[in-house]
Amino acid sequence: MGLISGFVKSLSKLSMIGRALMLPISLLPAAGLLLAFGDKFHLPLMMNAGGVIFDNLPMLFAIGSAVGLASESGIAALSAAVSVFVTNITISTVLSITPEMASQGGKYAMVVGIPTLQMGVFGGLICGILAAWCYNRFHTLQLPEFLGFFSGKRFVAIATALLSFLLGLLLPYIWQHIQSGIDALSVVVNGDNQAASTFIFGLVERALIPLGLHHIWYPSFWYSFGDYTTQAGQVIHGDQTIWFKMLEEGVKSFSSDTYQNAGKFMQGEFPLMLFALPAACLAMYHEAHTKNKKIAAGILFSAALTCFLTGITEPVEFTFIFVAPILYVFNAIMAGLAYMTMYLMHAHIAKSFSAGFIDYVSFGILPSFNGYQTNFLNAIIIGVPMALIYYFTFRFVIRRFDVKTPGRTEVTTSANDKTDTEIATDIIGLLGGAQNISSVGSCITRLRLEVDKSEAVNKDGLNALGARGVVFVGDNGIQVIFGARAQFIAQTMSTLIGK
């Protein structure tokens, strides 16, 4: 029982880290677009502006994760930057790492101008988590009166600096074992059977959607697994980082001696989001009861358009994931097949965040005009048959098992009829009141909350309010899916309850 309890608590904490990762990851579309359009129109200045973001991911992940875990605190962001500087300079001094050693790549790298260990975004994430912990632990600390100036939030950065110094002393001895594990996984992932690797990646990513833990799954593939040596001799890691560096350096084939087929852990979602899931929406509309077709059309058309344009799939997937487990499994398997098939057909399309039409044009079509071998038409060749499979499978399953997708149930409440303040007030009550809520946050489509007593949560009431899904993660974590309004509802809730 103790083991199970520990696992459940870990899920809740992982969910919070997943929420924190969304902020730094959400910065990447800007960098990707700058690189794509800079390459298309031969504007080195624009490409440099995008490249500098990818070159400084450790710092961005440190600041972004700290802000995400510490109620969007500016003090936490400042402390995260302090942690990056102090941790890395301590490591550099302890191991006597020189700029020349860092320039050769391998286990060393330059981070914000400091020669240090090659920890990638994980080094930044560690610093960000430390800074957030210091903020949450010390921002209300009251010191004796003669030290009063250093009390509260001013003490956060001081504590972070001191603990970062200790972290810098420990990491040289700890990281070598972590790095060995990453290297071993990287060899497996980028080994001889990459078709299996891409299938497993796509299947697991879709399977983790209900718990919101997919944000924990893909960063290793995007930012750590795989090696590519730049023209300047720098070694960089991760499928997404490598793809954009190859774009910047003019590697038309998206392959090198050390890293083959960049884009393989990103492109598989394009057939899914451009074709398959919109087709599922059409199937659900056709299976809606006649009297409810207008309501179903409003829900499903909006979800399909969001999925197609931006690649945000939760509004579609949460219409069927919880009411039809068979469709949930089907969707995960098909996602794996889409990744594998795109890889086998030698597509090389990147995504900055989600594989919608905007990314398809920016990182599939536009680079091909300059000779890059994105093979963007493969997304259509694979996507059209997938759309047909999804359409007929969804219609059969919905009708055969009477699945309660939109339009097949009585609609009692619509969140669109209420303001953010009204919804936030209702949610607070349905969560057991402000006293039962310990933290409030959000990602793109869902509220990510922690409560003291999960049994006080009225799940049916949240669904009746218009939530597209309610997920309990661990003992205290809860996610409520409200679509793109989630971040505004979360902000209002934080204001109302003072957290």
Enumerate residues 6+ apart whose C-beta is below 8 A from 414. Answer: 466
pLDDT (0 to 100) of residue 411: 53
| Residues counted in the chain | 499
What does the alpha-carbon distance between residue 346 and residue 369 come to, in Å, rounded to a whole number? 17
Q: 129 vs 16, 177, 205, 274, 478, CA distance in Å?
A: 11, 20, 23, 36, 21
Contact 54, 77 (CB under 8 A): no
Q: Is 422 exposed, middle or buried (0-12, 13-18, 19+ CB in 10 A)?
A: middle
* The 477-481 sheet, strands edge to edge: 437-442, 446-451, 477-481, 469-473
What does the alpha-carbon distance between residue 175 and residue 267 come to, in Å, rounded to a whole number? 31
What does the alpha-carbon distance between residue 63 and residue 68 come to, in Å, rounded to a whole number? 9
Could you give the maximum distance between any two Cα atoms of the chain, in Å? 74
Report field, pTM of the whole predicted structure over 0.85: no
What does the alpha-carbon distance between residue 352 and residue 262 come to, in Å, rounded to a whole number? 14
What does the alpha-carbon distance between residue 185 and residue 71 come to, in Å, rounded to a whole number? 34
Check residue 375 and report its DSSP letter.
-
pLDDT (0 to 100) of residue 381: 98
pLDDT (0 to 100) of residue 367: 95
Q: What is the CA radius of gyration of the chain?
A: 23
pLDDT (0 to 100) of residue 420: 85
pLDDT (0 to 100) of residue 7: 45
User: Could you give the residue ranges of the DSSP H alpha helices within 71-152?
Assistant: 74-95, 99-103, 120-138
Residue 369 is encoded by which pair of tokens? Answer: 């005009």
What does the alpha-carbon distance between residue 29 and residue 36 come to, in Å, rounded to a whole number? 10
Enumerate residues 6+ apart whose C-beta is below 8 A from 355. Answer: 266, 267, 269, 270, 272, 273, 274, 311, 349
Q: 211 vs 22, 124, 272, 310, 404, CA distance in Å?
A: 15, 24, 20, 21, 21
pLDDT along the chain (499 residues), means of 10: 47 65 78 86 88 89 88 87 97 94 84 92 93 92 83 91 96 90 86 92 92 84 91 88 94 94 96 97 95 89 92 88 91 97 97 90 95 97 98 96 86 65 92 90 82 90 83 83 83 85
Structure confidence by residue, pLDDT tens digits, 445-490:
788 888 999 899 998 888 888 887 788 887 788 888 887 788 889 8
Q: Phi and psi (nearest 5°) for 114?
A: -110, 125
pLDDT (0 to 100) of residue 72: 66
Contact 437, 451 (CB under 8 A): yes
